[in-house]
Amino acid sequence: MPQTTITLAAIKQPEIYLNVPSVVLNDPTIEARRRKIFQGMAQQKLDSLVVYADKEHGGNFEYLTDFIPRFEEGLLVLHKNGEAVLVLGNENLKLAQFSRTPANVVHAPWFSLPNQPMDTSLSLSEVLQQAGLNGQQRVGIAGWKLFTGNNDNNTSLFDIPTFIFQALQAALTCECELLNATSLFISPRNGARIINNANEIAHYEYGANLASSAALTALNAVELGKTEKSIAALLAAEGQANNVVTIAATGDRFENANLYPSDKQIQRGDKFSLTVSYKGGLTSRAAYVVSQADELHAEVSDYLDVVAIPYYRAVVAWLEYMHVGVKGHEVYELIERVLPKTEYHWHLNPGHLVADEEWLCSPIYPASDIALSSGMLLQIDIIPSRKGYAGASIEDTIALADESLRQQLATLYPALWQRISARRKYLDEVLNIKLHEDVLPLSNTVGYLRPYLLNKGQALVKNQAV
C-alpha cells in the first residue's frame, strides 16, 4: 500500500464561529438519560446506586442533575423504585431545587468547606440512612474510574473518599454487597454516556467550537517577545469553565514545577504547546516558533520530516478510516502501522471518547472488539515523542453519526449543520482529507496543523491522488 504523501503548503485557514449560542439539554434528553441508568441498575440487579461527585469528578452526577457540587462533595442516591435523593453540603443545598432529575435532599455538612458550620446531631451514616440507604442487598457505587485498561470494570475497587465509603458501610447494616458500578455510566462497550442524541451533540459542539476558535485565535497571536500569559488570555472564552488545565507554554515546560502560563517570553526556535478545552471538545497544538526550517536549531532542523509529517500522516489515516462500525482494535492497529509505537513512543489510546470530561473512556485499545457507534464523540489523541524534538499535536473532536442521526441534526439544528458542512468542505477541498459521511467535525481546526507557528499562511496537507 503506497504511503500517503504530505507536504507543507500555502493554504487558507479554517473558518471560526464566534458568538455561537449554547444549546441547553432538553427535558426528553434528561429523561432518556435517567431511563438508561435505571435500566442499567436493573441489569446489574442493584437495589440502589450511589453516584459520587466533586469538582474534578462530577460528570456522572451531572449527567442526571445537570449541575456539579462545585467546591464540595456530593452524592446522588438512586433507588430501584425511581426515587432520587441528593446528599449535599452547606453551599449546594440551594441547588437541589434546580436538579434536572427531581430529588429529595438531605444535608451532609461534612461535605462543606473547612470550618463551616456542622449543624447536625446525626452521624454521616445516619444521614445516608435518611437518604434511604438501609437494608439493601446490593448497592452500586459510581465514582469515575473503571480501574482497568479496557472495558471490563473492576467491581472491588472504589474511588470515593474513605469517610464516605465507611459511612456507607455503616449505614447498610445488613450483609450488603457493595460494588463499583461506574461502568453503568462510562463503560466504552455499553455505558449510558458513550452515545449522544442530536440534542447532546448540539450541546457539546458548543464547547468544541469554542475551544477550537479560541485556539486558532491564540495561534495567530503567537509572536516573538509576547508572554505565555498574553497568549493564554486569548484562550479564556465566554466565561466558560475549562475541563482541563489551559496550556500556553513556550520553551521547556514545567520549569519550577509550574503548570500554568507564566511571564516567560516567546523566543525564536522555542518549542510551543497550546491546549484549551471546554465541555465537548479540546483543541491542542504543539510546534516550533519559527517561520521556516532554517530557523530551527541544527539538531532539530529535520523536525518536519522526522516528527511533523509522519504524525500528520497518522492523523489523516485516523480521520479517513473512521466510520460507524469500525472496531476499536482496527483503529489501534492502523496507527501502529502508520506511526509505529517503537519509533514514535506514543503510549495512550490513539483516540478516546469525550463528554463533559475531556477524557470519558476509550474503546480504542489492542484486541478491542467494540464497534464505534453512531452518537459517539471522539477526540483525536495521538501523542508522538521523539527524543530531542518538540512534539506535534492536532487534538480535536469529531462525532460519528449514521444517516438517521445526521438527518435529525440537519432538521433540528440547521446552524450547527451548516458549520459541520463547512468544516467537512474545508477538509475535503483544502486539506484533501476525505471523510466518511458518518464523520462530523465538531472542532473548526480538525486536520489543520502548522508546524512553523510564525508562518501563519502555511500548513500541512495531504497531496491529492493523481
Block means of pLDDT (10 residues each) for the chain, length 466 residues? 87 97 98 98 97 96 96 97 97 96 96 92 96 95 84 78 96 91 96 98 98 98 97 96 95 85 96 97 97 96 96 97 98 97 93 96 96 98 91 95 98 98 98 98 98 97 76
- Same domain assignment for residues 308 and 428: yes
CATH number at residue 257: 3.90.230.10
- Same domain assignment for residues 328 and 237: yes
Number of domains the chain contains:
2
Residue 185 counted as domain residue: no
- Same domain assignment for residues 280 and 217: yes
Domain end among 180, 202, 227: 180
- Decide: helix, strand or coil at residue 180: strand
Burial category of 82 from C-beta neighbours within 10 Å (exposed 0-12, middle 13-18, buried 19 and up): exposed
The grid coordinates listed for 375 are: 452518537
Residue 188 counted as domain residue: no
User: Looking at residue 346, what is its pLDDT?
Assistant: 93
Burial category of 388 from C-beta neighbours within 10 Å (exposed 0-12, middle 13-18, buried 19 and up): exposed
What's the pTM value of the predicted model, to 2 decimals? 0.95
Cα(8)–Cα(362) distance, integer angstroms: 32
- Decide: helix, strand or coil at residue 351: coil
The grid coordinates listed for 19 are: 458568538
- Same domain assignment for residues 170 and 239: no
Q: Which amino acid makes up residue 181? A: A
- Same domain assignment for residues 323 and 218: yes
- Same domain assignment for residues 384 and 355: yes
Structural domain boundaries enclosing 65: 45-180
Which residue is listed with cell 515546560?
Answer: 253
Residue 368 φ/ψ, nearest 5 degrees = -70, 120
- Same domain assignment for residues 431 and 382: yes
- Same domain assignment for residues 174 and 229: no
CATH number at residue 167: 3.40.350.10
User: Looking at residue 258, what is its pLDDT?
Assistant: 83
User: Looking at residue 466, what is its pLDDT?
Assistant: 41
Distance from the first to the final alpha carbon of the chain? 15
Give helix 403-412 / helix 198-221 axis angle, nearest 10°: 70
- Which of 125, 128, 129 is closest to 170 using CA atoms? 125
- Same domain assignment for residues 170 and 283: no
User: Looking at residue 408, what is its pLDDT?
Assistant: 98
Residue 36 counted as domain residue: no
The grid coordinates listed for 445 are: 481546526
- Same domain assignment for residues 232 and 359: yes
- Which of 301, 302, 304, 322 is closest to 312 using CA atoms? 304
- Decide: helix, strand or coil at residue 134: coil
> By the 8 A CB rule, do 327 and 369 touch?
yes
Residue 33 counted as domain residue: no
Cα(288)–Cα(303) distance, integer angstroms: 9
- Same domain assignment for residues 99 and 201: no
- Which of 212, 381, 216, 391 is closest to 286 using CA atoms? 391
- Same domain assignment for residues 446 and 335: yes
Domain end among 126, 153, 180: 180
Task: Mark residue 447 as left, alpha or beta (left: phi above 0; alpha: psi -120 to 50; beta: remaining).
Answer: left
